């Protein structure tokens, strides 16, 4: 199975869904990572951290998009994402929640249109939001060390790292699971439960 994950900022994927992506990759699935281009604020260190994170989970590729128009959901944005989806042919897409900042919302809304032929679209959270209502939970107890080490590549240590992992603990407590989970809202989901 092919899996695609889209992120807006450096470390979005690591925070929101990296344990789950690691799990898919360990199960022999192709994991493709797409991030919204080399932003001017991204240092060489952050770009290298993204590359090292992709390597840590054996991602099939890491694609940087450079052409996203951040003024709104445009036909060009949708067309660019659609071309990538046609090339990758994923069975499942992980995209940022719409209930977040404007840039993540723009990518999410563009991706929803571009991924219309994909049966399974799950939205991840990067920052805790009361409006985020997950329906799917992936236990990531075995993958948490990989997730932590990838977040450390960005310089996250101590309290900063704990804050980024607090969502995983909070969502685990909400569903009475010991350890860590990543939670997702379903935009579309037709997956057989055996994949989750």
The answer to whether 63 and 36 have CB atoms below 8 angstroms apart is: no
Domain boundaries, the chain: 2-189
State the Cα–Cα distance between residues 162 and 145, nearest whole angstrom: 13
Low-confidence ranges of the chain (pLDDT < 50): 191-196
Residue found by looking up tokens 């935009």 in the block: 187
| pLDDT score, position 98 | 86
Quick one: tokens of 167?
């969502």
What's the pLDDT score for residue 57?
A: 97
Residue 193's pLDDT is: 45
| Tens of pLDDT, residues 123-148 | 999 988 888 999 999 999 999 999 99
The domain defined by 2-189 folds into Rossmann fold (3.40.50)
The per-residue pLDDT for range 102-126, each reduced to its tens digit, is 888 889 999 999 998 898 999 999 9
> What is the reported pTM?
0.91
Cα–Cα–Cα angle for 132, 47, 64, rounded to 5 degrees: 70
* Residue 131 burial by Cβ neighbours in a 10 Å radius (0-12, 13-18, 19+): exposed
Q: Any alpha helices (H) in the chain, and if so which ranges?
A: 12-26, 44-56, 75-88, 102-114, 144-152, 158-174
């Amino acid at each position: 199975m092919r899996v695609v994950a889209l992120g807006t900022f450096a470390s979005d994927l690591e925070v929101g869904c990296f344990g789950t992506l690691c799990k898919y990759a360990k199960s022999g699935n192709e994991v493709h990572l797409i991030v919204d281009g080399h932003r001017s604020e991204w240092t060489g260190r952050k770009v290298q951290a993204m590359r090292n994170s992709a390597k840590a989970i054996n991602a099939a590729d890491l694609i940087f998009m450079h052409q996203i128009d951040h003024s709104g959901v445009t036909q060009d944005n949708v067309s660019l994402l659609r071309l990538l989806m046609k090339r990758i042919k994923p069975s499942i897409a992980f995209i940022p929640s719409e209930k977040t900042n404007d840039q993540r919302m723009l990518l999410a809304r563009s991706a929803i249109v571009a991924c219309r032929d994909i049966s399974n679209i799950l939205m991840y959270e990067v920052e805790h939001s009361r409006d985020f209502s997950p329906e799917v939970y992936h236990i990531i107890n075995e993958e948490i060390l990989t997730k932590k080490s990838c977040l450390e590549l960005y310089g996250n240590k101590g309290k900063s790292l704990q804050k980024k992992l607090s969502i995983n603990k909070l969502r685990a407590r909400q569903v009475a699971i010991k350890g860590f989970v990543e939670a997702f809202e379903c935009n579309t989901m037709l997956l057989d439960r055996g994949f989750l």
